[in-house]
Amino acid sequence: MMDSASLNTEFGLAKHLRFEAQDGNILALIDIPGAAQAVVSLFGAQVLFWRPAHSLQPVLWASSLASYAPTKAIRGGIPVCWPWFGAHPVEPGLPAHGVARIRAWRVIASGLDNDVVMLKFGLNLDQDPLIPQPVGCEVTLRIGATLSIDVRTHNRGQSEFVFTEALHSYFSISNIEAISVDGLDTRQYLDQLNATAGLHTQAGSIRFSGETDRIYLRAEDRCVINDPSWGRRLRIAKHGSQSTVVWNPWIDKAAAMGDFPNDDWPYMVCVESGNCLTDRITLQACQSHVTGIRIDVETLAPSPPP
């Protein structure tokens, strides 16, 4: 990985994009006056912070106990889970959620267009012992008043490549019991807390009263996080994604995670876009696939306190 000085020389964008070393990692710091601010980690090609100028609150949640050194996955922001989601389907001893979030990515390109910073990353997997065939992965970010992320997988080998993936988005919210998630009505889901019970069907909005860990299948729809206490809606549109994961650890699970503050579970929710379980992707030789999301913040009049 290049050092921060070399990155600033080759990819820095005047006052809008600069690179800074921190705890053995390098962060990309983005400031677009009147549009947005963001922080991106080169370890994991992971957006850690993004706030459009019109939003009073940050959009993404990040753990205050997260490690930002390149030794373990960073808890929060938008980790890239690739090329498997959850446990490896054959070797459960391999790292959960794949290798993308625990590898240093290289910067390929940057640019500025109409108050949108573009930042593209590539991951070199040719010598990676956990990926047995030649594949490539690129992440392209477009950061401005909206945030978009594309993950492109390219099979460079001669045999088929089967993978699962997710953009594991952690969203900052006023309170988990005060929000709802729309866009998944009538969709079937697997409850990860009771996986042997088979598929369930969502009825209406998702509301939260305990630990939640669901994988919605054949769910290509846009999702909306309604947060009346903060007077906003977070709209998550996606493409190339058939699965949506909804997760909140609640009290006991949060307490069991060393990098998750015990009292933070009410203030975050994960609404993840990807291709999981039976929605896995199969690429033939020389084929590519792109999964992407676009996040918009709609500001509303906040609801009065109860």
- Calpha distance 239→293 (Å, rounded): 6
Q: By 3-state DSSP, what share of the chain in percent is helix, strand and coil, each rounded to 5?
A: 10, 45, 45
In 3-state terms, what secondary structure has residue 270?
strand
Are 137 and 122 in contact by the 8 Å Cβ rule? The answer is yes
State the Cα–Cα distance between residues 273 and 270, nearest whole angstrom. 10
Q: How far is CA 164 from CA 19, 173, 244, 275, in A?
A: 31, 27, 12, 5
Contact predicate 154/126, CB 8 Å: no
The b-or-e profile of 203-229 (16+ CB within 10 A means b, else e) is eeebebeebbbbbbbebebebbbbbbe
Closest to 138 in 3D by CA, of 221, 265, 45, 28 = 45
Based on the residue annotation, tell me whether 272 is a catalytic residue of this protein.
yes
- DSSP annotation of 62 reads B
Which candidate in 54, 168, 220, 298 is catalytic? 168
**Are the C-beta atoms of residues 228 and 300 closer than 8 Å to each other?**
yes
Token pair recorded at residue 56: 């009073």
- Active-site residue, selected from the candidate residues 160, 165, 272, 289: 272
Task: Clarify whether 239 is annotated catalytic.
Answer: no
Residues recognised as catalytic:
168, 272
